[in-house]
Amino acid sequence: MQLIAAFSALPAPVRATLLMCSAMVFFTSMGIFIRLASEHLHVLEVVFFRNFLAVVLMAPWIMRQGLGALRTERYGLYSLRAAINLVAMAAGFAAITMIPLAEATALGFTAPLFATIGAVLVLGEVIRVRRVAALVAGFVGMLIVLRPGMEAISAGALLALGNALGISVTALVVKKLTATERPEAIVLWMVLLQSPLSLVPALFFWTWPDAMTWLWLFCLAGAGTLGHMCWTRACGLAEITQLQPLEFVKLPLIAVMGFLLFGEGPTLWVWLGGAVIFCSTAYISHREAVMARRKAREAAGR
């Protein structure tokens, strides 16, 4: 209790930074647990258990809040988000088992690039020269990681990009949901809907986990749930543009973990391309925040 009180007494930007760093640690560790669990289970089973065990871990919150906390009028958006996110999750989990963890992480930084393109095509947002240039730079960074022409693009890399594309689409859906829904409800509805959806394909490859694999699966579900909770609470304390630079922490973290546990050393191309992708997405987020504040001031002045 004293620790919680001390944390609550910290300034909001400090709390947001600590929560975001915690989220990055949890999200990074997910890749390790996915790799370890998939050594004994098919990746589609791992996807199912990630969702189902997250429901189990969130059961105390449901009992404390009551079923009324899940009341919503946006079942369509929740269902759309779950379907797309499940496909993206399966692609991302499979990619982690096929390519080095650092490469999968670097390619995952492309999600905001796809989200920006989606906002233009779907939401009709207007982007100007500087954001277009940042988009181009981001995709150049992607090519640096993939190095087409120097070597064949692997199936794992394509799956990692498919995961980033799916995440970008769900980000647009979540952006609409956050206008009316609680962060905990958004996370819970995701795993509630994805659990039965992911069970169907998992049954075709079903084998029961052994004791050690159960441990990795619970760690995976716990890390994912805690990561989402920390991330959503951090975003409630500070602007995303202030927090996004901390996302690059995932690359050195996963590089160290991958080297220590699996002997994987990221190449110079992964570091360079990942940095280029990240800088471009950070700039795009910054410009979006600047434009949003400008529009808010203009609206207030009318």
138, two tokens: 């981001």
Tokens 């999200």 sit at which residue?
A: 27
Residue 6 lies in a domain: no
**3-class SS of residue 251:** helix
Which domain range does residue 108 map to? 13-301
Answer whether residue 47 is part of any domain.
Answer: yes
pLDDT at position 32: 93
Residue 5 within a domain: no
pLDDT in tens, 92-109: 999 999 988 888 888 888
pLDDT for res 151: 63
SS3 182: coil
Please give the full DSSP string across 122-180, using - where no structure is assigned.
HS-----HHHHHHHHHHHHHHHHHH-BTTBPPPHHHHHHHHHHHHHHHHHHHHHHHTTT
Examine residue 4 and state whether it is found in any structural domain, yes or no: no
pLDDT score, position 45: 96
Mean pLDDT, 10 residues at a time, over the chain (302 residues)?
Answer: 66 78 88 93 95 88 74 82 91 92 86 76 71 81 76 82 86 75 79 92 94 95 86 70 70 85 83 83 71 64 58
Task: For residue 216, tell me if it sits in a domain.
Answer: yes
Task: Write phi, then psi, for 71 (nearest 5 degrees).
Answer: -65, 135
Question: Number of H helices and number of E strands within the chain?
Answer: 13, 0
Token match 């300034």: residue? 11
H-run or E-run covering 292: helix 268-301
9 by Cβ neighbours in 10 Å (0-12 / 13-18 / 19+) ranks as exposed
Compute CA 140 distance to the chain's CA centroid, rounded to the nearest angstrom: 22
Indicate the helix (H) or strand (E) that contains 48. Answer: helix 43-65
Q: How many C-beta atoms surround the C-beta of residue 58 within 10 A?
A: 19
In this prediction, residue 92 carries a pLDDT of 92
In a domain, 32, yes or no: yes
The reply to whether 2 falls in a domain is: no
Number of structural domains found in the chain: 1
Q: How many Cβ atoms from other residues are within 10 Å of residue 101's Cβ?
A: 26
Residue 214: the pLDDT is 96
Residue 25 placed within a domain? yes
Tell me the CA distances in angstroms from 108 to 22, 75, 92, 103, 142, one per residue in order: 18, 28, 9, 8, 10
Per-residue model confidence (pLDDT) at position 90: 94
Closest CA to 190 of 81, 68, 281: 81
